[in-house]
Amino acid sequence: MYSKITGTGSYLPEKILTNQDLENMVETSDDWIRTRTGITQRHIARDDQVASDLALYASQNAMKAAGISNKDIDLIIVATTTPDMIFPSTACILQNKLGIENCPAFDVQAVCSGFVYALATADMFVSSGKCRNALVVGTEIYSKIIDWNDRSTCVLFGDGAGAVILSQSNAPGILSTHLHASGSYSNVLSAPGSISGGKVQGDPYISMEGSTVFKFAVKVLEEVVQEAVSQNNLQAADIDWLVPHQANIRIIQSTAKKLGIPMDKVVVAVDKHGNTSAASIPLALDIAVRDGRIHPGQLVLLEGVGGGFTWGAVLLRW
Ligand code: UT7
């Protein structure tokens, strides 16, 4: 038995924050942001929106695309770094909002690799026959954990959600999944605050050594893509669509160049979304599916890297 993505969906909050808007908030320029990151705008959630609200719309769109109803979902996995609350999990809150009565529901915390981790986990449930239709979501509201006075991070991130339905299938589907982590890099990219005694202890905002993350990202993304294709006796040139984590256009271009994959086979959404962490891959995937770029039978590779460090890839036949 195999697992196959049978529907995708996404949701972006209405409010758009442009580079020009940011010029009025911190000492930065549209030119710096575009040339260093490729980002021109990002979406920002309303103050009263939480990650499960964004996830709800993305999930409903994915269920509609898959032609299934909430009664058909028997597993919910939510990848998020910005959960609604400490507990219950955002997956349980989403389950209730979707009106689903009883199925396993849990969150995965692997930062920007979260969706790849969640999809790999769902694949194990579905391909082993334990579940028929898994709802796998990446949803983030980074605008709540960004220091809007810190120009080195506030220009990079955005809010959004993406979702897929992973269903049982007689034909693949997901060909292989590849997950990695190295906790020795935990200080390089973190939001180190914690709650104790009713207060946030330590720095509650994102802190990042940007150039260290950049170099590490390009190195491990190339490695994990090579690992995925070689395990399937394929080559990078066989990939029809690379759907990378959307952090920085220069990371995406450098990885594609090292792999010898032309940019017209790479799905890019970072210009319009910024870095939406665990939501970025399913958001980009949904766009490329809905605009007709990704066709049945094509080879698609999803890859991401993020805080932890964590990184991984999912190779699949659409
Ligand atoms: O999702 C995974 C997590 N994150 C990432 O993948 C991000 C990975 N890193 C990056 O994308 C890039 O390293 C950044 C976009 C964060 C930074 O680009 P960079 O080319 O590595 O620039 P830099 O950090 O070396 O900074 C260059 C200069 C510095 O000034 P000095 O020291 O050269 O005078 C910064 O202070 O740019 C300055 N700078 C800015 N200037 C204008 C940093 N942020 C800004 C800004 N506007 N927003």
Q: How many CA atoms lie within 13 A of 174 on its CB side?
A: 28
Taking alpha carbons only, the member of 284, 299, 248, 311 closest to residue 34 is: 248
Q: Is 245 a catalytic residue?
A: yes
Same domain, 166 and 192: no
**275 annotated active-site:** yes
Output the residue whose Cα is nearest ligand 1's atom 48.
151
Q: Is the CB of 275 under 6 A from ligand 1?
A: yes
Task: Note whether 78 and 227 are same-domain residues.
Answer: no
Mean pLDDT confidence for 257-269: 98
Distance in angstroms (rounded) separating the CA atoms of residues 258 and 185: 23
232 shares a domain with 98: no
Q: Domain span at residue 281?
A: 175-317
**pLDDT at residue number 113:** 98
- Report the candidate in 301, 267, 304, 255 with the shortest Cα–Cα distance to residue 138: 304
> Residue 73 Cα, ligand 1 centroid: separation in angstroms?
42
| Single pTM value for the model | 0.97
Non-local CB neighbours of 162 within 8 Å, separated by 6+ positions: 8, 9, 10, 11, 58, 115, 137, 138, 139, 279, 280, 281, 282, 283, 284, 285, 286
| Pocket flag, ligand 1, residue 162 (CB < 6 Å) | no
Domain boundary among 134, 151, 170: 170
Tell which of 143, 170, 197 closes a domain: 170
> Does any ligand 1 atom lie closer than 6 A to the CB of residue 213?
yes
User: Residue 158 in contact with residue 13, Cβ under 8 Å?
Assistant: no
Mean pLDDT over 285-312 rounds to 98
> Distance between CA atoms of 247 and 244, rounded to whole angstroms?
9
Q: What would the pLDDT profile of 106-161 be if each residue is shown by its tens digit?
A: 999 999 999 999 999 999 999 999 999 999 999 999 999 999 999 999 999 999 99
Q: What is the domain count for the chain?
A: 2
SS3 132: coil
pLDDT more than 90, % of the chain:
100
Testing ligand 1's pocket by substitution, the residue of 152, 185, 276, 283 carrying the most ligand atoms inside 8 A of its CB is 152
pLDDT in tens, 231-261: 999 999 999 999 999 999 999 999 999 999 9
Centre of ligand 1 to C-alpha 241, Å, is 28
Task: Write down which residue in 170, 201, 225 finishes a domain.
Answer: 170
What would the two tokens of residue 187 be?
A: 């200080």
